[in-house]
Structure 1
Amino acid sequence: MAADPAAPVIDVHAHAVLPMSLGAAGAAGPELGTAPDGTPFYRVGDYVLRGVRYEGSAFMDVDVRIAAMDAAGIDVQLLSPNPITYFGDLEPAAAAAYARSHNDALAELVRAHPGRLLGAAQLPMQDLDAAIGELERSVREVGLSAAYVDTDPGRTLDDPALDAFYEAVVDLDVPLFVHPSPLGSTGPADDPRLRRFDLDLLLGFAYDETLAVAALVFGGVLERHPRLDVCLSHGGGVTAYVAGRFGRAAAVPRAWVPEFLREHGVEHYLRRLWLDTHVHSRESLDLLTGVAGTDRLVFGTNFAGWDAGGAHAVEEVAHLAPVLSANARRLLRLDR
């Protein structure tokens, strides 16, 4: 698919593994290696991801990435942290040091490829003052374009303790991206049923994303922070499918339903969310657009990941291409 200068294809869902960040969390890694049987592994703390070869792939080799972007018809990518390396359980000072190292390396990569790559900041969310400070440094000093956090960064997203963080995101005029991690407290995933058939990825991510939507909407985050732009991965999980159920729950008498939901309704807040298109089928995308509209829909691929579609992913959303491009430019503040 040829690039269109008037409507560039902008991919907001593309993770990176940065060579300079290896070992930056001390004993927790991250560490790349090869098992005696030749199987590659990537270790983060006590968790070992086996069988994924990052070295020489688009995750780690920027030349491979740019060539693959060209082949897929993708003009610009927002690079984000690997969700395995949120390091939410790391000691706060070590988490802050890792985030700084990661963000410096990412910014260097972005500067080397202007017009093609943007970066989202890793943040030490276990220390909110440090997270705010690192976000301010990452945006103002090293030129990153967004904040990136877990769906459950040590607390639910509607925890009042996060309000100062959201205020900082708004003051910096950057978007906040929310993406789940496959790591439970005892490894992927806490529910043993999700350890089968890769369900931690196939279903667990959608579960966490939908819980995040519920926290943002029911928990009043979008009401308290009307200028906050928050984008969720994978179309917000199963939000489109359960939106009617969410709306019904807020419309009938329930003690937990706040007045703002009674007044405005769930749909009003769902349409405040930004959602990516990485939902894998036209039918799912049609449901998503029917529920959430297209005003805040942006293109995403999980580029180079197990479920990325390459050029096929671009073709799947060709009918929305101008809208997605304009939305991404607005979300990422590319015209300011």
Structure 2
Amino acid sequence: MSERVIDVHAHAVLPMAEGAAGAAGPELGASEDGTPFYRVGDYVLHGVKYAGSPFMDVDVRLAAMDAAGIDLQVLSPNPITYFNDLPVADAVAYARKHNDALTELVGKHPGRLLATAQLPVQDVDAMIAEAGRAVRDLGMTGLYIDTDPAGRTLDDPELDRFYEAVVDLDVPLFVHPSPLGSTGPADDVRLRRFDLDLMLGFAYDETLAVAALVFGGVMERHPGLDVCLSHGGGAAAFLSGRFARAVAKRAWVSQALRDNGFDHYYRRIWFDTHVHDVQSLQLLVDHAGSERLVFGTNFAGWDSGGDDHPAGALADTLTANATRLLRL
């Protein structure tokens, strides 16, 4: 195992953020039978106990990190509280309160915790302004957005100004999907069975994100952008040969993409290694390379891999990569 383990994939639920989005919440409570719930707008998540867990109790988190052998952890917004559909002013107010609270939390534990920022993605100017405040004024380590922020694909030209700002701020941009659709649960009702919104749904959105970043020219237009996708980028490693064939054959491919090839841009994206399987991890290494892979756990989540550190040379590589990605 590496001498230092850095976990880039860990979400926080902040007591100080409760009610910060007004009527939309978020609200933590319990039903009459004692079952805990967490409400975001009209959506209610039942049965997940945030209170007293590592998500909300920093002492419990640090003890669990020690038990798992994690030295440093990057905390990020809860994916069900992106609030992509709030009015801009409300989204700005929520992001500011969230980022202030998360900064205060990690500031009490230097060397153990870092923070990434919630952004009001409804408005690009507001998004850029809060990104600048979060990094320059609060000292946050990076920025966090959905795979389709406010309904935009990641290659939407409106986001180019934001990507330019991210490069100027010299911080990583983390991209993680939300399990919520436009009306709360996943829009595709088939994903509401067997927790498929969290498994197939996330992989679907992450694969679409890879396609938008590569096919849509984001990596070409912004060569200095460091963007990190969750869960190994979904199914992109498995589909990379098919994606490469499309680049060679299809008429919509840009000249730069055709000249450089799919792998040239695909291997410029960062991915966390939260894929649960040695063979899946090896597939990711084989296709995406190891130079931009970082260790991630979804710490304390249902699928947490907090005690599942890659062994051998890859462990040292992941630590070195995270050190570069996070500008440590």
If the length of structure 1 is used for normalisation, what is the TM-score?
Answer: 0.96
Counterpart secondary structure, 1:79:
strand
Change (3 A) 1:272 1:168: same
Q: What are the residue-to-residue correspondences of 1:103-118 with 2, within 5 Å?
A: 103-118=99-114
Q: What is the aligned partner in structure 2 of residue 37 from structure 1?
A: 33
Report how far residue 213 of structure 1 moved: 0.4
After TM superposition, the structure 1 = structure 2 runs for residues 227-246 of structure 1, keeping only pairs within 5 Å, are 227-246=224-243
- Equivalent position of 1:196 in the other structure: 193
* Match 1:168 to one of 152, 157, 165: 165
Instruction: Please state how far the C-alpha of 1:22 moved relative to its aligned partner.
Output: 0.5
AA partner of residue 327 (structure 1): N
Say if 2:94 is the partner of 1:98: yes
TM-score (norm 2): 0.98
Q: In structure 1, list runs of 5 or more residues that go unmatched.
A: none
Identity %: 74
Distance 1:105 1:143 in 2: 13
Structure 1 residue 38: Cα displacement: 1.2
Alignment of 1:42-53 (within 5 A): 42-53=38-49
**Residue 11 of structure 1: how far off its partner (Å):** 0.3
Structure 1 residues 1-336: aligned runs within 5 Å = 4=3, 8-154=4-150, 155-252=152-249, 254-311=250-307, 313-314=308-309, 316-334=310-328
Query: Deviation at 1:187?
Result: 1.9
Contact 2:271 2:293 in 1 (8 A): yes
What is the DSSP-based 3-state SS (H/G/I as helix, E as strand, rest coil) of the residue aligned with 2:149? coil
Superimposed CA distance per residue, residues 13-43 of structure 1 (whole angstroms, 9 cap, x where no aligned partner): 0000011001000000000000111110000
Task: Quote how far apart the aligned CAs of 1:310 are.
Answer: 2.5
Contact 2:274/2:305 (8 A) holds in 1 = no
The amino acid that maps onto 1:168 is A
Amino acid at match of 2:260: H
Change (3 A) 1:53 1:159: same
How much has 1:319 moved relative to structure 2? 4.4
Task: Please state how far the C-alpha of 1:110 moved relative to its aligned partner.
Answer: 1.1
Measured in 2, the distance between the counterparts of 1:231 and 1:182 equals: 18
Amino acid of the structure 1 residue aligned with 2:211? A
Q: Distance in 1 between matches of 2:234 and 2:305?
A: 18
- Residue 208 of structure 1 and its aligned partner are, at CA, apart by 0.1
Post-superposition CA distance 1:36-85 (Å, at most 9, x none):
11110000000000000000000000000000000000000000000000
Judged with a 3 Å threshold, the aligned counterparts in structure 2 of structure 1 residues 111 and 243 are, in CA distance, closer, same or farther, namely: same
Helix, strand or coil at the partner of 1:43: strand
Q: How many residue pairs were aligned?
A: 327
Cα distance change of structure 1 residues 318 and 300 upon mapping to structure 2, 3 Å threshold: farther
- Structure 1 runs (4+) deviating above 4 angstroms are none
| Letter aligned with residue 184 of structure 1 | G
DSSP-derived class of the 1:262 partner: helix
